Structure 1
Amino acid sequence: MKKIITVITTTATFALPLLAVAQTSVSNLSQAGQFVIGIINGVLVPVLFAVAFIVFIWGAFQAFILGANDDTAKSKGKNLMLYGLIGFFVMVSVWGLVNILTGSVGLNNSGVNVPTSGVNIGG
């Protein structure tokens, strides 16, 4: 029963934004594709970068604070840090390759889109 409630809650959480975009009119396949790309670039990519960052920070915490006297905890923490760095490298590499491919084919004439955090520092 607990698993069913978890599945229903997760599905409802992911389906909730669909109510907000229910009033937008997607009249053709091109607009639908732009909408999906916008969701991926606006939601999925920042969440994946945040997860990789959290994994890296948790690994550092585990390796240097919790694992100060325990070699197995230190090893697990270092592995998590490595996995976080690998995640960053893979995401940035794929992002760069996609930009190179779209630029070489001529699909993107606006230049390179650098991902931002959305936080303005210093006004």
Structure 2
Amino acid sequence: MEKIYEIIRKMDTKITYELYEIIRKILRGNKNQSEKGFRSLSYFRTFRMFVWAVCSYLPLAVFAAWNVGDEPTNLTQFVNNFTSVLNVVVPFVAWFGFFGFITGVLKYVNAGGDEERLGKAKQLIAYGLVGMFIMFSFWALAKILAASYLAVGI
């Protein structure tokens, strides 16, 4: 059991370090890179590292368990299962909006008066806020519909 905790601790440290590196690369920008192709390749590598870090952390976040023996037999059980999945997915997706918003704010602060960088930062802030608003609106609408029409306790 101690080996498992040690492995998890090492994985957590590695993932945290990789997330730090990703954020550092995003905030640093690509000032020394002149070719657009190389810049997009760098962003792809950064995005790939971010996706790997998030996906490798998911089993710890959801305790890697799902009750497969509890299949829905009526609409109420199906809605219960749907809302339980929604309770996991919506906050996860909303974090992407929050991460975009925070990244946009940090890029806005670091723009230093450059109009092009300010415009991109404002756009990133707007996309982050819209994404969070849409996800939380969808979540609230699903909760309201489930509670009012199906009498499901949420």
Answer yes or no: same fold by TM over 0.5.
Answer: yes
TM value normalised by structure 2: 0.49
Residue 54 of structure 1 corresponds to 99
Secondary structure at the aligned position of 1:29 is classed as coil
Residue 129 of structure 2 corresponds to 85
Unaligned runs of 5+ in 2: 1-47
Residue 117 of structure 1 corresponds to none
Unaligned runs of 5+ in 1: 1-5, 114-123
Report sequence identity in percent.
26
**Higher relative CO (CA 8 A, sep ≥ 6), structure 1 or 2?**
2
* CA shift digits 1:25-69 (9 cap, x unpaired): 515334787556434422x22211211111000001111x22122
CA contact (8 A) 2:90 2:139 kept: no
Residue 28 of structure 1 corresponds to 71
Divergent runs of 4+, >2 A: 12-17, 27-40
Q: Write the letter of the residue equivalent to 1:94.
A: F
Q: When the two structures are aligned, how many residues end up with a matched partner?
A: 99
Give 1 or 2: higher helix fraction.
Answer: 2
CA contact (8 A) 2:102 2:125 kept: yes
TM value normalised by structure 1: 0.59
Provide the alpha-carbon RMSD of the alignment: 3.5
Work out the CA distance in 2 between the residues paired with 1:99 and 1:36: 10
Q: Do the aligned partners of residues 46 and 62 (structure 1) sit closer, same or farther apart at CA in structure 2, a change above 3 Å counting?
A: same
Work out the CA distance in 2 between the residues paired with 1:107 and 1:93: 20
- The answer as to 2:124 corresponding to 1:71 is no
Instruction: Give 1:21 deviation, angstroms.
Output: 3.2
CA contact (8 A) 2:107 2:117 kept: yes
Instruction: Give 1:70 deviation, angstroms.
Output: 0.8
CA contact (8 A) 2:86 2:139 kept: no
